[in-house]
Amino acid sequence: MNYDVVVIGAGPGGSLAAKTCAERGLSVLLVEKRQEIGAPVRCAEGIGKKDLQKFVEVDKKFIAAEVVGAKIYAPDGTEITLTEEMAGNEVGYVLERKIFDRHLARLAAKAGADVIVKTTAIGMERTKDSVKVKLRRMGEEFEVGCKIVIGADGVESRVGKWAGIDTTLKLNEIESCVQYLMTGIDFDPEYCHFWFGSNIAPGGYVWLFPKGNNSANVGIGVMPSLAKRSPKEYLDEFVERNYSNGKIVEVVAGAVPVKGEIETAVADNVMLVGDAARHADPITGGGIANAMKAGYYAGIVAAEAIQKGDCSAKTLRRYDELWKNDFGKDLARKRKLQQKLIKMDDETLNKIMHTLANCKLEEISVKAMIKELIKRHPKLLWDLKDLFL
Amino acid sequence: MAKRVVVNRYRCAYCGACVAVCKFNANELVETFLVIDEEKCNGCGICVKVCPMNALEVVS
């Protein structure tokens, strides 16, 4: 069996890559290790409206809820409200990933990609300008030949390592996450909610994303280098304090890479997209939009390279250019901001939030907001000025 | 006896966090089943620290 491209992982990044390749006339195989695409979910399911609309026609069947902004709570409870635009466009829609991911895989299939599930990639072997991908499907091992492998295999990515890209994360480059789907709780369904504080979620935050009908994703991410306990213990405490009457109808766990921009997501015959390339936002943890963008770019570059008859790292470097120009710099900047934020104690965080609470936020941009903060807290934030001003 | 990591399957939520931090590639998420390769694992315990569910433990 031979294809132009094999895509490992059928999340949003992988499906977009497969779809884009197929639309450009390439033969594509999309491989998913799980027996069900999109389940179990490992995600809070929030995405900005514009980002989603860029890649798919929005269909109500995969939208669980719509929100108008974000409410952020300081350690002392001070509340600030951000509009959708100010929240970094990470909020707007709350997806139903189980339906959304399948929809994207179907779009890839419709464009001409072959799809196989319950099939794990277990190895990869490069020969002269082609790759043999070793797959295991329900216990049976077989090989598929291709010219390009797109690794969209998530936070636990193996493809990068096989190709010589070291993607191992350190304990301060990852958020360890647990999430409950809760029902029967009271909250403002117009907003996504975020709680910060060293006792609430060290190096991360607690979130509540509405999912319609009085239900919501209530989850937590903590940075293992700072956390004293597991995220589950912190989350249980939070839920007990705030939503003790709610019922938990689903438990999911996950991890988000928050390493920031990596040097390269490319090797000979290989490109990495989404969480596999550490494309998630180091501040918000959001990753769906960047994964879809990266998948799209990888698809375009795959088509170009195959037409040119050259799938070397040098040619595929064009993909690095595309994703870095689009959101790579933003990842690097957010990583620096994150490094700054995780060093702040609760008192400092409170002070900053008080400043923000007193601004008329609707009238200013994120840039203006950070400028204002640097002006008012120069000692704290001075070294960020070159990044944001 | 050498140290190694064991998984409590009743707790594991097969999220892949432990796989992402293991530089020895000892942990692998096969579909929704975590496998720890005893040959590769040296019991450093970094995966224990990242596990969201407290499902991992270093034993000797």
CA distance A172 to chain B (A): 10
Contact A224 B50 (CB under 8 A): yes
Can you tell me the mean pLDDT for A183-191? 95
Residue in A118, A157, A253 closest to B52 by CB: A253
- Give, in words, the CATH class of A52-92+171-257: alpha beta
CA distance B35 to chain A (A): 13
Residue A248 has pLDDT above 70, yes or no: yes
Domains of chain B: 4-59 (3.30.70.20)
pLDDT for position B1? 65
From CA A378, how far away is CA B20, in angstroms rounded? 37
Report yes or no: B35 at the A interface, CB cutoff 8 Å: no
Can you tell me the mean pLDDT for A327-343? 92
DSSP B2-58: --EEEE-TTT-----HHHHH-TT--EEEETTEEEE-TTT-----HHHHH-TT--EEE
- Provide the pLDDT confidence category of residue A318 given band limits of 50, 70 and 90: very high
> Residue ranges per domain, chain A?
5-43+98-169+261-336, 52-92+171-257, 339-388
B21-49: pLDDT as tens digits: 999 999 999 888 999 999 999 999 999 99
Can you tell me the mean pLDDT for A253-270? 97
CA distance B15 to chain A (A): 5
Tokens of A379: 């000692």
Closest CA to B12 of B35, B45, B37: B35
Contact A33, A121 (CB under 8 A): yes
Contact residues on chain A for B30, CB-CB shorter than 8 A: 33, 120
Half-sphere exposure of A139 (CA within 13 A, CB side): 0
A32-84: pLDDT as tens digits: 999 999 988 888 899 988 899 999 999 999 999 999 988 999 999 999 888 77
Write down the mean pLDDT value for chain A. Answer: 92
What one-letter code names the amino acid at A296? Y
pLDDT for position A119? 96
pLDDT for position A377? 79
Residue A387 has pLDDT above 70, yes or no: no
Contact residues on chain A for B54, CB-CB shorter than 8 A: 230, 232-233
More confident residue, A20 or A70: A20
Nearest CA in chain B to A136: B30
Report yes or no: A318 at the B interface, CB cutoff 8 Å: no
Q: What percent of chain A has pLDDT over 90?
A: 80
Residue in B13, B21, B25 closest to A174 by CB: B21
Contact B15 A34 (CB under 8 A): no
CA distance A389 to chain B (A): 35
Report yes or no: A42 at the B interface, CB cutoff 8 Å: yes
- Provide the pLDDT confidence category of residue A88 given band limits of 50, 70 and 90: low
Write down the mean pLDDT value for chain B. Answer: 94
Contact residues on chain B for A161, CB-CB shorter than 8 A: 25
Nearest CA in chain A to B18: A156
Can you tell me the mean pLDDT for A267-293? 96
pLDDT for position A381? 74
pLDDT for position A374? 78
Q: Is A161 exposed, middle or buried (0-12, 13-18, 19+ CB in 10 A)?
A: middle
Contact residues on chain B for A168, CB-CB shorter than 8 A: 20-23
Nearest CA in chain A to B34: A156
Q: How many CB atoms lie within 10 A of CB A78?
A: 16
Say whether A250 sits in a helix, a strand or coil.
strand
Report yes or no: A145 at the B interface, CB cutoff 8 Å: no
Say whether A342 sits in a helix, a strand or coil.
coil
- Provide the pLDDT confidence category of residue A371 given band limits of 50, 70 and 90: confident
Interface test with A, best of B19, B50, B51 (most A CBs within 10 A): B50
A216-237: pLDDT as tens digits: 999 999 999 999 999 999 999 9
**CATH value of A5-43+98-169+261-336 in 3.50.50.60, 1.20.1250.20, 3.90.1150.10, 3.40.920.10:** 3.50.50.60
Contact residues on chain B for A233, CB-CB shorter than 8 A: 54
pLDDT for position A83? 78
Report yes or no: B17 at the A interface, CB cutoff 8 Å: yes
Can you tell me the mean pLDDT for A5-18? 98
